[in-house]
Amino acid sequence: MKEFEIVCPLNREPRLKEIESKAQGLEWVLKKRSVDARKEPVWRYRYEAYEPGEKPAEFTLPEYRDCHGSDPVIVVGAGPAGMFAALKLLTLGRKPIVLERGKDVHSRKFDMAELSRTGKVNPESNYCYGEGGAGAFSDGKLYTRSTKRGDIREVLYRLVEFGASRDILIDAHPHIGSDKLPAVVENIRKCVIAHGGEYHFGSRVCGILKNAGGLFEVSCADGKCYKADKVILATGHSARDIYEMLDRSGGALEAKGFAMGVRVEHPQEKINWCQYHGQWQPGMPAAEYSFVEQVDGRGVFSFCMCPGGILVPSATEPYTVVLNGMSNSARSGKFANAGVVVQIEPEDVPGDSPFRLMDFQRDVERRMFDWCEQARCEAARPHRHTKDEQAVPENPAAAPAQRMEDFCLGKISKKMPETSYHPGVISAPLHELLPPVVATRLQKVFPRVKMRNYYTNAALLLGVESRTSSPVRIPRDPQTLEYLSMPGLYPCGEGAGYAGGIVSSALDGINCAEAAAAEKVPAGPVES
């Protein structure tokens, strides 16, 4: 096997004669495509070429089985971990019963639109809860370094099978797009049901116990109960009530580190100009960026970068403000946004409760809302307004915001720039509203970012980006993947503290499905 590379301008693809010239009569396969903007922006295409008969066999997906009459496995949650666990169960001959607290991927759009328009949070259907999980409306980014978890091709090829572009198989930074991912998610559900599985929406799990016969009884808030010998718990990073339910039953839980910060929004043209060295032209991909720094002993890094994207409200509870970013497949919007966050470790928050980081997270989200609510009350009082004073949005989802340089200097921003965040922004002292462990490190990192014109008052910081990962871990056996407090229950994905992002969550779902289907759990004592 030999490798070769072809470099092309961004306005064209490699020509066949170029490829065949490099391959020198060998069979060739395109392995990776990436943009290289270190000097003149170009595409880099990496190929592998093989002697006749040496080319490896094409990757093939395991086939689904008809599971209408098979033994069931309950899957709690229809995000990436839950969906891929359900698909894997079909290939292993087990019937998945998927319980999702939210709505199907199309119906939940109406609740998200309502949240942006009025600030009203539906606690069961929002940007975090519902079919597809939080990733369904955050660009569908498929970046991962989790190659040790399993073969990521099973995830990528499945996504292509259900409607994603084949480009995700070769792109260095693959993404599907928030406009296209819902159809992929719906196709996965249709496949599960066609092969004998079940989906139940509006089914918030409120109790899990094992009866005297060894079967789990999973009760839902709608009064229904489902039984199976195995349960995969894939509830996502924001299902706080699941942790509380497990705690009430005496289950083990651990505080887990997560990251918190702000959403940073620049005009996309500034990022394009910087990353392409002033050579960006229409038709070129919207430029991305990423960075990682160590500041005062903690990692500070960019997260979930959305080129040509928009900012969206991601609160799951009333009286809180939480932000996330998303972009459509074309990435053609006016703005670029990314989370810039500081790693928070359990030792940063006093106490020994497994909920102390979750409570810390919630307190900051409420602080953002409370400050904006106070500003709305102040604006409603009769007083003389100056001509330069900006109107305060009435939307309860409006976010506190501050220009980047003003934040680092500890100054209030007098006027807000244009933003993609539909509920609106309120000028606020984010340098005071954020916890010192976060604010001081962010103030140090922004001037250090090695991108020309990144540190600018044209950039807007919005608070708070807090749902980067779960602040609680559900401990499991490293070999069997079973919950230490309840054998036969498999904590899975981001919500259990074992993944971060769509691909790693999907891989963890696959692994838990394999573990759950391996053997039946013997009858055991009743556990509540």
The pLDDT tens digits of the residues spanning 274-311 come to 998 888 888 788 999 999 999 999 999 999 999 999 99
Taking the CA atoms of 344, 349, 352 and 353 in sequence, report the sign of the dihedral they define.
negative
- DSSP reduced 3-state for 247: helix
pLDDT for res 281: 82
For the residues 262-275, what does the mean pLDDT come to?
Answer: 95
CA distance 182 to 190: 12
Backbone φ and ψ for 425, nearest 5 degrees, come out as -130, 155
For the residues 74-91, what does the mean pLDDT come to?
Answer: 97
Residues 6+ apart with CB under 8 A from 257: 343, 344, 345, 346, 357, 471
For the residues 132-140, what does the mean pLDDT come to?
Answer: 78
For the residues 373-386, what does the mean pLDDT come to?
Answer: 81
pLDDT for res 522: 41
CA distance 243 to 474: 8
pLDDT for res 382: 78
Average pLDDT, the chain: 92
CA distance 108 to 123: 12
pLDDT for res 132: 93
For the residues 5-15, what does the mean pLDDT come to?
Answer: 91
pLDDT for res 414: 92
pLDDT for res 519: 66
For the residues 63-87, what does the mean pLDDT come to?
Answer: 97
CA distance 396 to 152: 40
Confidence band, pLDDT 50/70/90 cuts, at residue 41: confident
Cα separations (Å) of 503 from 81, 138, 143, 151, 424? 9, 13, 7, 10, 32
CA distance 174 to 178: 13
pLDDT for res 280: 84
Q: Pick the more confident residue, 452 or 334.
A: 334
- DSSP reduced 3-state for 521: coil
pLDDT of residue 425 exceeding 80: yes
Taking the CA atoms of 77, 471, 122 and 330 in sequence, report the sign of the dihedral they define.
negative
CA distance 442 to 407: 9
CA distance 58 to 402: 51
For the residues 338-348, what does the mean pLDDT come to?
Answer: 97
Range 171-210 burial, b when 16+ CB lie within 10 A, else e? bebbbbbbebbbebbbebbebbeebbbbbbbbbbbeebeb
Q: Which range in 57-61, 128-132, 175-179, 360-364 is most confidently predicted, on average pLDDT? A: 360-364
pLDDT for res 77: 97
Confidence band, pLDDT 50/70/90 cuts, at residue 175: confident
What sections of 30-107 are H helices per DSSP? 80-91
Confidence band, pLDDT 50/70/90 cuts, at residue 46: very high
Confidence band, pLDDT 50/70/90 cuts, at residue 387: low
pLDDT of residue 317 exceeding 90: yes
**DSSP string across 128-161:** SSSTT-GGGGTTTB-----GGGS-HHHHHHHHHH
Cis peptide upstream of residue 464 (ω within 30 degrees of 0): yes
Q: Out of 26-40, 67-81, 425-439, 484-498, which region has the weakest mean confidence (pLDDT)?
A: 26-40
For the residues 430-443, what does the mean pLDDT come to?
Answer: 98
CA distance 216 to 210: 4
pLDDT for res 390: 76
Confidence band, pLDDT 50/70/90 cuts, at residue 146: low
Name the CA dihedral angle for 319, 499, 341, 326, rounded to a multiple of 10 degrees.
Answer: -70
Q: Is 409 exposed, middle or buried (0-12, 13-18, 19+ CB in 10 A)?
A: exposed
What does pTM read for this prediction? 0.93
CA distance 525 to 469: 34
CA distance 15 to 34: 17
CA distance 206 to 118: 29
pLDDT of residue 386 exceeding 70: no
**For the chain, first and last CA: distance in Å?**
57
Q: Which residues pair with 335 in a beta bridge?
A: 267, 309
pLDDT for res 121: 94
Residue bearing tokens 């083990």: 252
Backbone φ and ψ for 29, nearest 5 degrees, come out as -140, 130
CA distance 397 to 373: 10
For the residues 469-491, what does the mean pLDDT come to?
Answer: 97
* pLDDT tens per residue across span 215-241: 999 999 999 999 999 999 999 999 999
Percent of the chain residues past pLDDT 70, beyond the cut: 95
For the residues 244-259, what does the mean pLDDT come to?
Answer: 96
CA distance 444 to 439: 9
**How many Å is the Cα radius of gyration of the chain?**
24
pLDDT for res 388: 60
